[in-house]
Amino acid sequence: QVQLQESGPGLVKPSQTLSLTCTVSGGSISSGSYYWSWIRQPAGKGLEWIGRIYTSGSTNYNPSLKSRVTISVDTSKNQFSLKLSSVTAADTAVYYCARERQQLVLFYFDYWGQGTLVTVSS
Amino acid sequence: DIQMTQSPSSLSASVGDRVTITCRASQSISSYLNWYQQKPGKAPKLLIYAASSLQSGVPSRFSGSGSGTDFTLTISSLQPEDFATYYCQQSYSTPRGFTFGPGTKVDIK
C-alpha cells in the first residue's frame, strides 16, 4: 500500500520561501507510470493543483504559480519536494502531495498524503 | 483555461436517497473527468476516473456518467458515511494543468 507523508514548517513569514517534502513509502517513486503532484486547499475553499514532477525530473506547473514554484525529486530518498517563493497570506493553505497515475491518456490522483497546514504570517 | 462548475453547491439529503451531482466544463473535455470525495480534515479520495470508471475499493452505489462538457456523479442510495464534499476534476488540459470544480457539499437533512 503506497503512503505519502508531507513534512515541513507549519509557519512561514511573508516574502520568504515555503518548503515542503513528501516522503513516499510502500513503493518506489521511480517505478511505474506515475507523476508526483502538489495540490493545496485554503481553509473552507476548493482544491488548486500546484504542479507535478516525473521521476525523470520533467515538471509541469500551474501557470498562475509558475513563476514562484519549483518541484524537485530525490529518488534515492523516495521523496519529492515543493518550494514556493515570495509567499503571502494568500498562500496559507493545507498542502497535499499526491500520486498521479497515468493510464494511456488518462490521469488521476489515486493516492494522497494527509495534508499539512502552512500558515504565512509574521 | 478550462473552467469547471458544479451544481448544486450544497444539498441536504436523507440516508437512502438517490443523489445526483452535476459538473460542467467550459469546453469539451471528452471523458477526462474524475470525481473525488473529501471528508472534513481528510485528504480527497478518488471515486471515479475517466468519467465512469469506478476506482478499486469504491462501493458500487457510486457511479459516474457523461462526456464532452456535462457530467454527473450519482449515489444510488446515500449512506451515513457518504456525507462529504464532492469535487470533479478535469485532466484534459494535461500537461498544462488540472482544474477542480468548486465542490458540492452533501449534508444530512
Determine the average pLDDT of the residues in A64-72: 97
Q: Which of B38, B56, B33, B36 is nearest to B46 (CA)?
A: B36
**Alpha carbon of B5 to those of B71, B72, B102: distances in Å?**
10, 12, 6
B→A interface, C-beta within 8 Å:
1, 32, 34, 36, 42-46, 49-50, 55, 87, 89, 91, 94-103
The reported pLDDT for the residue numbered B3 is: 94
Sheet holding A69-74, edge to edge: A3-7, A18-25, A79-84, A69-74
| Residue B2 and residue B93 in contact, taking contact as beta carbons nearer than 8 Å | yes
- What does the alpha-carbon distance between residue A64 and residue B96 come to, in Å, rounded to a whole number? 11
Q: Which of A25, A30, A116 is nearest to A73 (CA)?
A: A30
The reported pLDDT for the residue numbered B109 is: 85
Residue showing cell 458500487:
B60
The verdict on a CB contact (< 8 Å) between A106 and B99 is no
The reported pLDDT for the residue numbered B80 is: 94
Chain A residues lying within 8 Å of B101, measured CB to CB: 46
Chain A residues lying within 8 Å of B99, measured CB to CB: 49
Of A47, A63, A103, the CB nearest to B97: A63
The reported pLDDT for the residue numbered A27 is: 92
Q: Binning pLDDT at 50, 70 and 90, where does residue A34 land?
A: very high
The reported pLDDT for the residue numbered A12 is: 98
DSSP β-bridge partners for residue A67:
none
Chain A residues lying within 8 Å of B91, measured CB to CB: 106-108
Chosen from B36, B90, B91 to mutate, greatest number of chain A CBs within 10 A: B91
Q: What angle do CA A118, B1, B3 make, to 5 degrees?
A: 75
What's the pLDDT tens digit per position in A88-102?
999 999 999 999 998
Chain A residues lying within 8 Å of B87, measured CB to CB: 46-47
The verdict on a CB contact (< 8 Å) between B100 and A113 is no
User: What share of chain A in percent tops pLDDT 70?
Assistant: 100
The verdict on a CB contact (< 8 Å) between A107 and B87 is no
Q: Binning pLDDT at 50, 70 and 90, where does residue A103 land?
A: confident
The reported pLDDT for the residue numbered B97 is: 82
Which residues 12-51 of chain A have a CB within 8 Å of chain B? 46-49
SS (H, E, C) chain A: CCEEEEECCCEECCCCCEEEEEEEECCCCCCCCEEEEEEEECCCCCCEEEEEEECCCCEEECCCCHHHEEEEEECCCCEEEEEECCCCHHHCEEEEEEEEEEECCEEEEEEECCCEEEEECC
Chosen from A41, A58, A109, A110 to mutate, greatest number of chain B CBs within 10 A: A109
10-residue stretch averages of pLDDT, chain B, 109 residues long: 95 96 96 97 97 97 98 97 96 86 95
Q: Binning pLDDT at 50, 70 and 90, where does residue A33 land?
A: confident
User: What share of chain A in percent tops pLDDT 90?
Assistant: 90
The verdict on a CB contact (< 8 Å) between A106 and B49 is yes
